[in-house]
Amino acid sequence: TLSFRNPGRDIRVYLQLDQPSTAFPEPQRVEMRVGDAVVDSFLLPAGRMELRPIQLAAGQLGTAETVELAVSVDRTFVPASMPALRSTDQRELGIRVFRAFVQPS
């Protein structure tokens, strides 16, 4: 979940993200939500970094002082359960988010 101050006007959110693992033969579905509303949904293939712009209208941000943008994926993986990775990492992982930037529109 990404939290930021509600600017009270239209914005564009930029996310730099990737799916570093080849755990899945098909791209992962990534979903972005503000509250219960899905504001973006897309497929993210493994091994490719992406800069994803998301346009949000002021009305989608709500009236609270803080906006919470939830990022979720349809599948996760545990590196330790993948012999090819030779990892002891027991965390349940999805995608990596490197940077997030909020810009007024």
Per-residue pLDDT of 18-46, as tens digits, reads 988 777 888 999 999 999 999 999 999 98
**Whole-number Cα distances in Å, 42 to 9, 26, 45, 49, 71:** 24, 13, 10, 14, 11
Q: How confident is the model at residue 78 (pLDDT cuts 50, 70, 90)?
A: very high
Sign of the CA dihedral running 34, 66, 105, 1: negative
Answer yes or no: pTM beyond 0.75. Answer: yes
